[in-house]
Structure 1
């Protein structure tokens, strides 16, 4: 009888653990489910949150995130800024090493930053005027825009220099108040030159072709399936790493992730709106703010969409509150402008959204009137618009379907849906102008409104819709060189007004995420800005 009772109790305990989630009860392993895939771990090319999360697991920059989400020293043991704010000097930790034992040097940063321009990487614009404002970066960006080659002389003129192995000096064209925060972003990460050159074009594309200096080392990566990491014993801050193994389950359907969570096979599972009602009363249910703005990218090369009244009709037709509260149900909130709430605080301590105007509303009658006026101006009775979206980037499909329904209620618009993948949407269709309306998103790279406002600049590489406004370009140039913080703040408010009056992009909602999280896990750092997740401090 005692044996039977013991067996029953063990079975009950197993079921209880399964219901809580958690990597098979293994306290040394943390398992994280992601709806997205890792593009690669090459800081000159990766440009998505999932890749950034994986990259940050294996690489530290000059600065990093602490357990409270604050930006603190990473491989830099200290930093100094000159009185004029133009020269930043970073001392590299003596105990900072690559996983192969090589010391991390100042040249690792010089090499990586030069490389992103040589390869015309996704994020070279972050080095330029208006963001990091590093000397020589804008000139190289202009050459890239003009399809000119970057020369050794161009690189030598860039304001980044290894004074010695452990001293990095960075020179900017203007004072950048958020420069240290930028240094925690992946495009500013170091790269071990010798290792990278040996890998060639394969660098960062597999577990064997990435070398890190961070909390973990990548041991296995099967694209579209799983990525596995182990604690890096050579990490300078290894004492803070409490787990031995990290597992990222990739491209996992929310329903599958939820089932895996219930079975105790994962510690973190993002779920979609269909599952919220089922789990919202569960202790493991948590809504988080990932910081993404979901919006509609408009192709201005389409003559119908170049009409402002047509764009107004599209924006007015969307009931953002209904979409967030009754469809998404994940904590998302209606966007009132292109700069999300909670991103940046003014010199007076006020949120940008509290000081800027509200540019969105729902009014079907006004939407129809705007469309009628637009059609009249175009000399047409009806227009056809394609809505392009990725089916592998939830809830983009829900967003796109809601947009289709909203536009279909207007007389004079015919909607065609173009379902594809995120990669195809961005790098083929949008990049090549093969779209009308694309449902997309942007996550803030750093905590300043310019991370969104620069998207409206005519030469910005992410301005796929080819929106051009000389007044905005001139104003953003002022923002880039403005040293007075109060004047700069007002200029950014004015810049957003230009963008929203033109509806160069149509903001829809600020994304919340519904998740299931193992209650026994502590220390997962979630930031709505920069790298979304930090695993260094996780414990079970």
Structure 2
């Protein structure tokens, strides 16, 4: 007997279009909203740096994942509210014991070269991403998904063929879990679980992701790519729902300077860009229909290197606690950023589904009390006016990150006499530096891979691929293992947050808001999707 949790594929449009060109007609209307559509259906947006990869098995950053969601499609997608909707799969069944998921694939999904998308493409992609040979930065995600034998495969102790995923036939994908995981279906919207076209990878190796070589199955194909400049994607005529895709061309521009990007937005060159730190109040007053701030599933923190390559002073918990307490988070969110962000005293974002933010001692103090306690702790560690602490703090190139780092360094100097050397690095270099523990204190941010607290707290496990502090707590590991099988994991999450607040391997600073300038004629943006996972196929331009 099985428990069925089938998501039926529904017709996305209420109008039948003879050809996709119908959407280019200025008199055409949106099939669901009835809004008149603009003749030119393009979307141009800004990012601050180039992503390391657009290979689903290797992609690791937020901006890169947005591109991958356009180029590839996984088993399930998200709608504007973040709910699961059919992707390549029309639905799934889960066994009564919760350990076997059977996905049914649609029979009209195709690759951009016309090949059918089959269950074996997912099997190949998952085994490829989990195998040590690819060195995927997200290989550990398969362990988090509780897929059978994932830990052993990722560690190289088992062959990838032993991973708990199989394809009995072309339209059936079976996933075997080592234990029930209630939020497992949410996890298959992540880029690492997307299919890959094996023949293309075999033919071109690491060059398979270039525009001239890539074969993809999403609503768009990569048509142009100039690293550190732009990436253009155009509609995939082979996509199973192409007739209901409206945006024709999506252009991602790399503009490192946020203020230059804002100038270009105001000149009409961009449809969307980030709001530079501190400018949201002015822009929202001047352009209330374009300045947007909504909660976003990311937490901003400073990670502290706790290995033998660090500043020895940072191995003293008193020092870490003092540095954390001396940061006035209200000043950061209200004066430096001023975009709707909230102070963070826990790692998990306050708006995460089902999460109850626990009390921590620091959160209940006034800033004056925190500062006094910080001085006391730093003195106990042997640092003061006669023996000031010197630390280095690195961040990836961004005016916002620089502004926050400057403010924090001034707070440390004023309250504790700490001298801070600031350094910024280009994104890919920064990731390598931080990942190799070649730093003392580094900017960190984590955006949820799914809407559940474990997506944040799993990073604090000893073996997490993104535990850049290399923090190790047997109790945290134990609690996170318990949480996966608990009907109510909140008690475990509360204790983990309290342990983090005591040990302070990371210093939470603020919880994100998505703060953008966005053209008023851009429709379909998923403002109520907490993860802010957007798909260009759901966007459209409204006629003036």
* TM value normalised by structure 2: 0.86
Aligned to 1:298: 304
1:94 aligns with 2:107: yes
CA distance in 1, matches of 2:159, 2:189: 25
Query: Per-residue displacement from partner, 1:44-87 (whole Å, max 9, x unpaired)?
Result: 21100110000101111000122443221110012000000000
Q: 1:92–1:168: 8 Å Cα contact kept in structure 2?
A: yes
Q: Which residue of 2 is the match for residue 133 of structure 1? A: 146
Look up the match of 2:295: 289
RMSD across aligned C-alpha pairs, in angstroms? 2.1
Give me the whole-angstrom Cα distance separating, in 2, the residues matched to 1:441 and 1:475. 23
Deviation at 1:526, TM superposition (A): 4.8
**Residues 67, 312 of structure 1: CA spacing in aligned structure 2 closer, same or farther, 3 A cutoff?**
closer
1:355-403, CA deviations, whole angstroms, 9 ceiling, x for partnerless residues?
5546545322221111111226x9x9332111111124x5211121111
Match of 2:520 in 1: 519
Q: Which residue of 1 aligns with 2:264?
A: 260
- Find the counterpart in structure 2 of residue 371 from structure 1: 378
Aligned to 1:445, the other structure's residue is in SS state coil
Offset, 1:196:
1.4
Partner Cα distance (1:415, 1:493) in 2: 32
Residue equivalent to 2:72: 59
Is 1:228 aligned to residue 232 of structure 2?
Answer: yes
Distance in 1, matches of 2:497 and 2:395, equals 25
2:138–2:465 Cα contact (<8 Å) kept? no
User: Does 1:197 pair with 2:202?
Assistant: yes
How far is the alpha carbon of 1:239 from its aligned partner?
3.0
Shift of 1:344: 2.1
Which of 465, 476, 481 matches 1:472? 476
Say which SS state the counterpart of residue 116 (structure 1) adopts.
Answer: helix
Find the residue that maps to 2:381 and give its secondary structure: helix
Q: Distance in 1 between matches of 2:199 and 2:359?
A: 49
Contact 1:97 1:234 in 2 (8 A): yes
CA shift in 2, pair 1:527/1:113, >3 Å: farther
**Deviation at residue 255 of structure 1 after TM alignment:** 2.0
Q: Is contact 1:276–1:330 with CA below 8 Å preserved after alignment?
A: yes
Which of 137, 156, 159 is the matching residue for 1:154? 159
Decide which of 298, 301, 323 is 2:332's aligned counterpart.
Answer: 323
SS in 2 for 1:438: strand
1:218 aligns with 2:222: yes
* Map of 1:43 onto structure 2: 56
Gaps of 5+ in 1: 1-24, 144-148, 346-350
Hey, what's the Cα distance between the residues in 2 that align with 1:358 and 1:240? 52
Q: How has the CA–CA distance of structure 1 residues 403 and 321 changed in structure 2, closer, same or farther, with 3 Å as cutoff?
A: same
Measured after TM superposition, the shift of residue 106 of structure 1 is 0.6
Match of 1:9 in 2: none
Identify the residue that residue 537 of structure 2 maps to in structure 1.
536
Secondary structure of the corresponding residue to residue 352 of structure 1: coil
Match of 2:352 among 336, 343, 368: 343
Per the alignment, residue 458 of structure 2 pairs with 454
* Distance across 2 between alignment mates of 1:208 and 1:406: 51
**Alignment of 1:177 onto 2:216:** no
Q: Matched residue of 2:539: which SS?
A: coil
* Secondary structure of 1:314 counterpart: helix
Contact 2:330 2:343 in 1 (8 A): yes
Shift in CA distance, 159/235, structure 1 to aligned 2, threshold 3 Å = same
Q: Is the 8 A contact 2:54 2:67 kept in 1?
A: yes
Number of matched pairs:
493
Q: 1:36 to 1:532 in 2, by over 3 A?
A: farther
CA distance in 1, matches of 2:504, 2:116: 49
Query: Secondary structure of 1:91's match?
Result: strand
**CA displacement at 1:249 relative to structure 2:** 1.4
What residue in structure 1 maps to residue 18 of structure 2? none
Distance in 2 (CA, whole Å) between partners of 1:397 and 1:291 is 22
**Which digits, 9 at most, give the CA deviation of each residue in 1:276-310, with x for residues without a partner?**
34412112111133322110101113321111111
Whole-angstrom distance in 2 between the partners of 1:432 and 1:516 = 35
- Native 8 Å contact 2:80 2:528 kept in 1: no
Q: What's the secondary structure of 2:514's corresponding residue?
A: strand
Match of 1:245 among 219, 242, 249: 249
Distance 1:412 1:269, change over 3 A: closer
Deviations 1:73-108 (CA, angstroms, capped at 9, x unpaired): 110012000000000001111001011100001111
Give a deviation string over 1:189-228, Cα, whole Å, max 9, x none.
0001111111202232x22232211111110011111111
1:492 is matched with 493
Give the structure-1-normalised TM-score: 0.87
| Equivalent in 302, 305, 321 of residue 312 of structure 1 | 321
Q: Deviations over 1:164-210 (max 9, x none)?
A: 11111000011111111101100000001111111202232x22232
